[in-house]
Amino acid sequence: MELQVQLLMNTLQIGSVYVLFALGLTLIFGVMKIVNFAHGTFFTAAALVVTSVMMWSVDTIGMPIWFSYLIAFVMALLVVCVIGFVVYFFGFKYVLKDLNGSFILSIGLLLLLNGTYLILYGGVPRSIPAVIPGNITILGASLTIQRLVLMIVAAIITLGLYILVHRTKLGLSLRAVAEDQEAAMLQGIPYRRVALYGFLIGATLAACAGALMATVTPVTTVIGDDFLVKAFIIIIIGGLGSVLGAILGGLLIALIESFGGYYFDPSTATLAMFVLVVILLIVRPQGILGHAEK
């Protein structure tokens, strides 16, 4: 029982980060009909910014850790928004709805940005001090408070996104554009601006995931790429463009990873995910919650 609770906690904690990451990817796909292979670089950028800001503010200025983390978090989101804005305006703007073109562009960006990070930060992993120290015991399973807070924050962000997409006017235009771009434009929705918003929201979600992840794991310049394959599996399972699908898919993949990784080993768990995808493709090619293909 204790073990299962521990594994379940683990699932929720990995899952919450997966969900944020996959939500960004699926949102960008929904609005722009492109697969962003450079999504991991947003994650990495945020995590790297958090480490450097905290190193500066805690060590040099001596700010309290929680306060400097807040500043670092905001800085990370800002930096990623700027990166997102630049790559949209000088790149993605030209390959909207062009699957092959956007693939190449995002791979080019992946190489360019990862190379730049490596030059700026070097290959040594960096860690930040614990923002909230201490442990907590839930049903016999021990958990650092930090990880609990991470889960809660990720859940709040996910909820916020869900409300944004389903309850606001911007969300309505995002969904309209995802559904049928031309019909949406006929209704007076400015497609390019909505695409930009969708892209920036997606990038910000990856940045949130990265900034949160920096608190619990050492940061390297390729940290975001590890999430990419799993995020792809998640959005295939959940259906491209589906918000709920990304949430369910993320939790499912985290469940397999956590339990499979414990009872067998991590690579068996990854293989199991792929087998799941194969079965799903045979039964339901458009994903659990995806729309039928046109």
Partner 1 sequence: MLKSNPGLALCILIAIGAICFALFSGDPYYVQVVIWVFANAALAVTLRFVLLIGELNIATAAFFGIGAYTTAVASTILGWPFFISLLAAPVIAGVISSLFGWITLRTKGPYFLLISFAFTEIVRLIYTKTEALGGNSGMIGMFPPMELDAYFPAIAISILAAILFGLYAAERSNLGRVFKAIKNNEDIPRSVGLNVIGLKILCLVIASTAVGLVGGVHAYTNSVIAPADFTYFVAVLALAYVKIGGEGHIVGPIIGATILTLAGQFLHSFGPYENIFYGAIIIGALLLVPGGIVGLGVRFKAGTLMGRAGR
107 sits near partner 1 (criterion: CB under 8 A): yes
Among 3, 74, 82, 111, binds partner 1 (CB under 8 A): 111
Cβ closer to partner 1: 219 or 236? 236
Q: Any idea what DSSP says for residue 97?
A: T
**Cα–Cα distance measured from residue 35 to residue 52, given in angstroms and rounded to the nearest whole number:** 30
150 sits near partner 1 (criterion: CB under 8 A): no
Question: For the chain, where are the alpha helices, taking DSSP H only?
Answer: 2-32, 39-54, 65-90, 99-121, 145-167, 169-179, 181-186, 191-213, 225-238, 243-255, 261-263, 266-283
105 sits near partner 1 (criterion: CB under 8 A): yes
274 sits near partner 1 (criterion: CB under 8 A): yes
118 sits near partner 1 (criterion: CB under 8 A): yes
Residues in Cβ contact with 35 at an 8 Å cutoff, skipping those fewer than 6 apart: 25, 29, 99, 102, 103, 106
| Region binding partner 1 by CB under 8 A among candidate stretches 65-73, 76-84, 170-178, 275-283 | 275-283
User: By rule CB under 8 A, what string of x and - marks binding of each residue 170-209 to partner 1?
Assistant: ----------------------------------------
Among 11, 16, 44, 114, binds partner 1 (CB under 8 A): 114
293 sits near partner 1 (criterion: CB under 8 A): yes
Among 74, 112, 139, 163, binds partner 1 (CB under 8 A): 112
Instruction: Please answer whether residues 198 and 241 qualify as being in contact, where contact means their C-beta atoms are separated by less than 8 angstroms.
Output: no
Q: Which of 201, 25, 28, 220 is nearest to 125 (CA)?
A: 220
125 sits near partner 1 (criterion: CB under 8 A): no
Residue 141: strand pairing partners: 138
Using CB under 8 A, count the residues that bind partner 1: 43
Instruction: Please answer whether residues 117 and 212 qualify as being in contact, where contact means their C-beta atoms are separated by less than 8 angstroms.
Output: no
Q: Any idea what DSSP says for residue 54?
A: H
Among 5, 7, 78, 103, binds partner 1 (CB under 8 A): 103
292 sits near partner 1 (criterion: CB under 8 A): no
C-alpha radius of gyration, the chain, whole number: 19
| Region binding partner 1 by CB under 8 A among candidate stretches 63-71, 75-83, 132-140, 271-279 | 271-279
The CB density around residue 89, as the number of other CB atoms within 10 Å, is 11
Which residue ranges make up the site for partner 1 (CB under 8 A)?
29, 33, 35, 90-91, 94-95, 99-101, 103-105, 107-116, 118-119, 229, 232-233, 235-236, 240, 267, 270-271, 274, 277-278, 281-282, 285-287, 293
